[in-house]
Amino acid sequence: MPVAAYPAAMVEAMRATLAATPGRRISARGRARAAVLVGVVAGRSPRLLLIERSDTVVHHRGEIAFPGGRMEATDRDLWRCCLREAEEEVGLAAAAVELLGRLDDLVTSSGFVVSPFVGVIDKLPKLVAARREVKRCFTPAAAPLLSRAAWTLHPVWDGSGLRPIYALASGRPPIWGATAAILVDLARRLDPPPAAGAGVAEVVAPGGGSVYRPRAEQVPEPVARVAPTTAGAGVAEVVAPGGGSVYRPRAEQVPEPVARVAPATAGAGRDLPWRRTRDPYRVWLSEIMLQQTRVETVLPYYDRFLARLPSLAALATADEDEVLGLWEGLGYYRRARHLHAAARAMVAHGVPADSAGWARLPGVGRSTAGAIAAICFGERAPVLDGNVQRVLARLLALRLAPATPMGGRILWSCATHLTPATETATYTQAIMELGATCCTPRRPDCATCPWAPACGGRALDWVAELPARTRRAPLPHHREVAVVVRRGDRLLLRRRPDGTLLAGLWAFPHTRVVGGEGEGAAARRLAAQLLGRPSPPLAPLTRLEHAYTHFRITLHAFFLDPGGEPAAAAGEWVALAALDTRPMAVTDRAVARAAAAAFG
Ligand code: SF4
């Protein structure tokens, strides 16, 4: 019977087993050393001393761990390092701990050689989370954590590829990684596995240390669906083009992608206009409009665009102002200019018949090209838009941000692998629909998800944290001024030049406020340039805030009436009543409305 079943004998069993089979040591040559304290609080029902890392700890935020840390030059040995760290982190005095023995050294994914020491604490003093990186310390009952049956294996991608890691899936929050491996080592000593051939297989990890993994048949459903690890029956390893290994699940690990996901489209899927067609023009238009834009926003724009420009030829021959005008309000105006340029290229050279051809057109990335080719031509081309990235990152419990090179490579390899050779169009629509309606960013509906049995993120309770995000610096803030120059019932407009933000749209003359300059002074500086002479003080018209993708602006608009004498400014004088015919960015449109209200 496992020792966890009779906890009163646990400490003595640990003492005996650690004396009989001391932990294996790994040379730390060229690597950093660390030590952790597996503190066992003695009693009729022993407990374990654990900490939760605070949210400020990069890469390990919120993780459950044992007290411990990197060895310092002043530490006489690893045991002293372990005690010092425990004292610094949770205020546990060294005298309160008796050493029982040492577990197997292990190598963490960040390259540390970690030595776990088991120590018994007869009388637990009052503990305090003493370091900034420790959110809290707590002492859960040891028996449930030291039962081998409590642990399951999951394939988790880290920076170097897929590692099978142990996780206590039912824990809140879950315990995984090095802490889980240490607990499983201790559990395994107290409750030895059956003889080889019928139980747990042990393998030595390539970087040193041990990774233990059960046979596929030992892993309970649903983890067995994603956890098999032996070649030929589970995770296949392929060498990535750029070097290193990328692992991808075999098709049978993800249950019947098409059959299971297709009903999301066939049954509960939304009835969207671009789902009723295989016309490349319409599918392409919808894919471009849907980039960074929600379906509900796109729907009226899509209908209006097609009503006005129903064919590729109509788009190719349209005036740029008309295309930009139909796009106004959708944002990311470069998409509209690329759309226009691509239409002209296709009228001149023909419509591509595969994803490679589509990917050569302006504004069409790999994922968009894949979606068009899969939906229109049935090509086996993967799609990886933001929604699909989220689904796959959760399915694979991927801890890397999709925006990182390795994270992107893993997701593309997985997306490629999962895309079926037949029913490609249905699958593509279905997985995009799954991401948009079921595996949503905030409240995924895992209960109805067809992939729930295979979902690593769900099994590990990581769904809310996935996909992992790269830290974004706060958006820079700029101040700008715009000057609305009036001549009779006309206002001065200029087209934003190529190669600048919002190129092609019409704008009021504007400039950035520099250094300690005030907005009024910046407006007078701009007005002087427009007039060719010093400007009088200007009347404020409106003020507004707007956030673009990479920065925020506060725009102050001023009104200038040169008093009937013609301005020396270059640009076009547009009647107040005709402002609506000129495509503008959202900030200029707001200024135009303010001007119409003031002068109209
Ligand atoms: S089970 Fe939940 S997290 Fe996993 S893919 Fe489905 S909806 Fe997303």
Report the separation in Å between the CA atom of 268 and the middle of ligand 1, taken as the mean of its atom positions. Answer: 16
pLDDT (tens digit per residue) in 475-528: 889 999 999 988 888 888 999 988 888 888 899 999 999 888 889 999 999 888
Q: What is the pLDDT of residues 173-209, one digit of tens each?
A: 678 778 888 998 898 888 765 543 333 333 333 333 3
- pLDDT higher at 309 or 423: 309
Average confidence score pLDDT of the chain: 80
Average pLDDT for 332-337:
91
Fold of 257-465: Endonuclease III; domain 1 (1.10.340)
pTM over 0.85: no
Cα 304 from Cα 292, distance rounded (Å): 19
Q: What is the C-alpha R_g of the chain? A: 31
Pairing of strands 33-41, 113-121: parallel
Q: Which of 394, 418, 434, 466 to mutate to test the pocket of ligand 1 (most atoms within 8 A of CB)?
A: 394
Return the SS3 of 414.
helix
Query: Which atom of ligand 1 is nearest the CA belonging to 452?
Result: 1
Model pLDDT, residue 319: 93
Contact predicate 170/130, CB 8 Å? no
Q: Which atom of ligand 1 is nearest to the CA of 445?
A: 7
Counting ligand 1 atoms within 8 A of each CB, the residue from 254, 387, 391 with the most, and so the one to mutate, is: 391
How far is 575 from 448, CA to CA, in rounded Å?
56
Rounded to an integer, the average pLDDT of 553-561 is 90
Give the range among 15-24, 308-317, 451-460, 521-530 with minimum mean pLDDT: 451-460
Give me the amino acid identity at 356: A
Neighbours of 463 (CB within 10 A): 19
135, with CB counted inside 10 A (0-12, 13-18, 19+), is middle
pLDDT over 70 (residue 260): no
Class of domain 3-218: alpha beta
47: exposed, middle or buried (Cβ count in 10 Å: 0-12, 13-18, 19+): buried
Residue 379's pLDDT is: 95
CA of 261 to the centre of ligand 1 (A): 12
For residues 560 and 535, the answer to whether their CB atoms sit within 8 Å is yes
pLDDT in tens, 99-117: 999 999 988 766 789 999 9
Counting atoms of ligand 1 from 1, which one is nearest the CA of 449? 6
Ligand 1 center to residue 395 CA distance, Å? 7
What tokens does 188 get? 């395994």
CA distance 211 to 526: 67
| Residue 376 tokens, joined | 């229109």
3-state secondary structure of 445: coil
Contact at 8 Å (CB) between 491 and 579? yes
C-alpha neighbours within 13 Å on the C-beta side of residue 85: 28
Residue to mutate, 261, 432, 438, 439, ligand 1, most ligand atoms under 8 Å from C-beta:
439
- Which mutation among 154, 455, 461, 465 tests ligand 1's pocket best, with the greatest number of atoms within 8 A of CB? 455
Give the pLDDT confidence of 346-381 residue by residue, as tens digits.
999 999 999 999 999 999 999 999 999 999 999 999
Determine which residue's CA is closest to atom 1 belonging to ligand 1.
452
- Closest-CA residue, ligand 1 atom 2, reads 446
Asked if residue 59 has pLDDT above 50, the reply is: yes
Mutation pick for ligand 1 pocket among 411, 458, 465 (CB with most ligand atoms within 8 Å): 458
In whole angstroms, give the CA distance from residue 203 to residue 190.
Answer: 19
Q: What are phi and psi of 144, to 5 degrees?
A: -65, -30
State in Å: Cα 397 to ligand 1 middle: 10
- DSSP string for residues in 123-135: S-------STTEE
Catalytically annotated residues: 287
CATH 1.10.340.30: which residues of the chain?
A: 257-465
Region of 595 (left: φ > 0; alpha: ψ -120 to 50; beta: rest) is alpha
CATH number of this structure's domain 477-599, picked from the four choices 3.30.390.30, 3.20.20.70, 3.90.79.10, 3.40.47.10: 3.90.79.10
Give the Å distance between the CA of 118 and the centre of ligand 1: 38
- Which residue type is seen at 227? A
The Cβ of residue 134 has, within 10 Å, a number of other Cβ atoms equal to 19
- Residue nearest ligand 1's atom 8 by CA: 439
SS3 content of the chain, % helix, strand, coil (to 5): 40, 20, 40
Does the bond joining 173 to the residue before it have cis omega, within 30 degrees of 0? yes
| Residue 455 Cα: closest atom of ligand 1 | 4
Ligand 1-lining residues (CB < 6 angstroms): 391, 394-395, 438-439, 444, 446, 449, 451-452, 455, 457-458, 463
Q: Point out the ligand 1 atom lying closest to the alpha carbon of residue 391.
A: 5
425 CA → ligand 1 middle, Å: 21
CA distance 66 to 571: 68
Kindly give the number of the ligand 1 atom that is closest to the alpha carbon of 466: 3
**C-alpha 449 – ligand 1 centre gap (Å):** 6
The pLDDT assigned to 252 comes to: 39
Rounded to a whole number of angstroms, the distance between the first and last alpha carbons of the chain is 88
Could you tell me the distance, in angstroms and rounded to a whole number, from the CA of residue 297 to the centre of ligand 1? 25
Residue 26 CA to chain centroid, in angstroms? 35
Of 500, 496, 503, 436, the residue nearest 297 (C-alpha): 436
Q: What is the mean pLDDT of residues 279-296?
A: 94
Q: Cα torsion for 214, 220, 226, 227, to the nearest 10°? A: -10
Q: What is the per-residue pLDDT for 211?
A: 34
359 alpha carbon to ligand 1 midpoint, in Å? 30
Give CA–CA dist 445/320, Å, rounded: 43
Query: ω before 241 within 30° of 0 (cis)?
Result: no
Residue scoring higher pLDDT (410 or 170):
410
Q: Helices 177-190 and 10-20: crossing angle, nearest 10°?
A: 90
* Cα 110 to middle of ligand 1, angstroms: 28
pLDDT for 178 equals 83
pLDDT, residue 565, reads: 58
Look at residue 467 and tell me whether its pLDDT is greater than 60: yes
| CATH 3.90.79.10 domain extents, the chain | 3-218, 477-599
Q: Among the atoms of ligand 1, which is closest to the Cα of residue 451?
A: 6
- DSSP for 178-212? HHHHHHHHHHHHHSPPPPTTSS-EEEE-TTSSEEE
Distances (CA, A) of 430 to 75, 177, 269, 375, 433: 58, 33, 8, 11, 5
Whose Cα sits closest to atom 4 in ligand 1?
A: 455
